[in-house]
């Protein structure tokens, strides 16, 4: 078993090294399209609408990168990936970046040879149960059947939590959120566990969301963010600083509504550097001077993307919490644009 795990890791790492050597930024420009890996469907984060158009918080990151690089937020090919297939798709070069509720961990960064370019959502693993089960704590789940996505950090966290609390469970392995939802609603498992944001997004799609309870325990740290292959630092910089541009735009009060006016020049030097009216930041990345302006115009700044897709006024109803700007007591923070 250990040999097969090591071989799998080496295979992914080898694919990543080979694909990264090609120069992803040049490939994307030549292709005229960004290939962005997303989840197979999680409402609010990444899911196709009735017309097949992808929408969501993670989708917004993909579109911002496409706008920064190509000047066109629609120049994206969305590639659905599961917990099992996402890393192979990135390592092989099938996708240029991955933006799908993926947790930044030591082994994924170091052993699988990927580079996380930041955190766009600070999360933690939780539990959802039917209200009729009468459970108020995850510590009351001894002997429960638990739906859990394979190939994810939630598998290991779940095992650790139950072992630490000396209780048992029976795993019901699933590969996609849609499958988990189907199995859970059909009663094939008592509990569904994944990132708390994913549980909120899933519950929002139920016919009767109030019939299901999110338990209070958060049992892990799950910093979620986009990632690229090791060995292509230029492309990593493009994705990292595009995310930072969205974050900084919110901090500086640059929105999709006022960006046109602010791009004409302001009294704030950092706003001017961000929007390309001063300095040469775009040139340093190999992009146009208005790359960050294009990224923000694609779907709004970080806060706009959050509120539109997953915020408190959406069916998902997530509060900013840890994902508030650092100036508001949260963890969302970008290095300076200078």
Q: Say what the pLDDT of residue 12 is.
A: 56
Over residues 299-313, the mean pLDDT reads 98
Residue 7 pLDDT grade (very low, low, confident, very high; cuts 50, 70, 90): very low
Contact 84, 176 (CB under 8 A): no
Can you tell me the distance from the alpha carbon of 177 to that of 64, in angstroms, rounded to the nearest whole number? 25
Best CA proximity match to 114, nearest among 225, 192, 196:
225
Query: Helix count (H) and strand count (E) of the chain?
Result: 14, 14
Instruction: Give the DSSP H or E segment for 160.
Output: helix 153-164
Over residues 87-112, the mean pLDDT reads 95
Q: What is the mean pLDDT of the chain?
A: 93
Percent of the chain with pLDDT over 90: 89
- pLDDT of 270 strictly over 80: yes
Q: Say what the pLDDT of residue 87 is.
A: 96
Per-residue pLDDT tens over the stretch 122-150: 999 999 999 999 999 999 999 999 999 88
Residue 14 pLDDT grade (very low, low, confident, very high; cuts 50, 70, 90): low
Over residues 156-175, the mean pLDDT reads 94
- pLDDT of 196 strictly over 90: yes
Q: Say what the pLDDT of residue 151 is.
A: 81
Best CA proximity match to 72, nearest among 113, 116, 41, 28:
28
Over residues 164-190, the mean pLDDT reads 94
**Residue 69 vs residue 12, higher pLDDT:** 69
Alpha helices, H only, 225-321: 233-252, 259-262, 269-275, 281-285, 291-299, 302-309
- pLDDT of 108 strictly over 60: yes
**Residue 22 vs residue 257, higher pLDDT:** 257
Per-residue pLDDT tens over the stretch 210-237: 999 999 999 999 999 999 999 999 999 9
Q: Say what the pLDDT of residue 13 is.
A: 52
- pLDDT of 242 strictly over 50: yes
Residue 152 pLDDT grade (very low, low, confident, very high; cuts 50, 70, 90): confident
Q: How many CA atoms lie within 13 A of 222 on its CB side?
A: 22
Q: Say what the pLDDT of residue 2 is.
A: 36
Residue 72 pLDDT grade (very low, low, confident, very high; cuts 50, 70, 90): very high
Question: Is 149 strand, coil or helix?
Answer: strand
Contact 61, 296 (CB under 8 A): no
Can you tell me the distance from the alpha carbon of 236 to that of 133, in angstroms, rounded to the nearest whole number? 46
Angle between helices 302-309 and 291-299 (to 10 degrees): 20
- The Cβ of residue 228 has, within 10 Å, a number of other Cβ atoms equal to 26
Kindly write down the DSSP assignment for every residue of 71-132, as one continuous string. S-TT-EEEEEE-TTTHHHHHHHTS-SEE-SS-B--HHHHHTS-EEE---SEEE-EEEEEEGG
- pLDDT of 163 strictly over 50: yes
């Amino acid at each position: 078993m250990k040999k097969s795990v090591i071989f799998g890791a080496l295979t992914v790492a080898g694919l990543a090294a080979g694909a990264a050597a090609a120069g992803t930024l040049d490939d994307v420009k030549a292709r005229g399209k960004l290939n962005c890996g997303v989840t197979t469907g999680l409402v609010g984060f990444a899911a196709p609408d009735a017309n097949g158009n992808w929408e969501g918080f993670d989708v917004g990151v993909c579109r911002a990168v496409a706008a920064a690089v190509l000047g066109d937020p629609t120049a994206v090919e969305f590639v659905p990936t599961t917990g099992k297939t996402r890393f192979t798709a990135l390592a092989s070069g099938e996708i240029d970046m991955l933006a799908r509720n993926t947790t930044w961990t030591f082994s994924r960064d170091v052993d699988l040879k990927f580079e996380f370019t930041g955190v766009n959502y600070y999360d933690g693993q939780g539990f959802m149960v039917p209200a009729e089960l009468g459970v108020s704590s995850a510590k009351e789940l001894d002997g429960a059947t638990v739906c859990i996505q394979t190939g994810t950090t939630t598998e290991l966290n779940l095992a650790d939590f139950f072992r630490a609390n000396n209780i048992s469970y029976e795993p019901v392995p699933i590969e996609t959120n849609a499958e988990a939802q189907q199995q859970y609603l059909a009663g094939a498992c008592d509990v569904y566990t994944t990132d708390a944001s994913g549980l909120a997004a899933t519950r929002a799609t139920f016919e009767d969301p109030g019939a299901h309870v999110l338990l209070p325990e958060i049992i892990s740290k799950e910093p979620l963010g986009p990632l690229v292959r090791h060995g292509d630092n230029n492309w990593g910089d493009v994705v990292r600083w595009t995310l930072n541009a969205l974050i900084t735009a919110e901090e500086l009060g640059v929105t999709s509504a006022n960006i046109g006016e602010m791009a004409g020049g302001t009294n704030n030097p950092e706003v001017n550097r961000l929007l390309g009216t001063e300095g040469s930041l775009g040139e340093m990345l190999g992009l146009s001077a208005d790359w960050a302006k294009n990224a923000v115009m694609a779907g709004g700044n970080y806060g706009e993307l959050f509120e539109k897709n997953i915020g408190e006024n959406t069916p998902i109803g997530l509060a900013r919490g840890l994902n508030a700007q650092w100036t508001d007591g949260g963890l969302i923070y970008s290095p300076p644009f200078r």
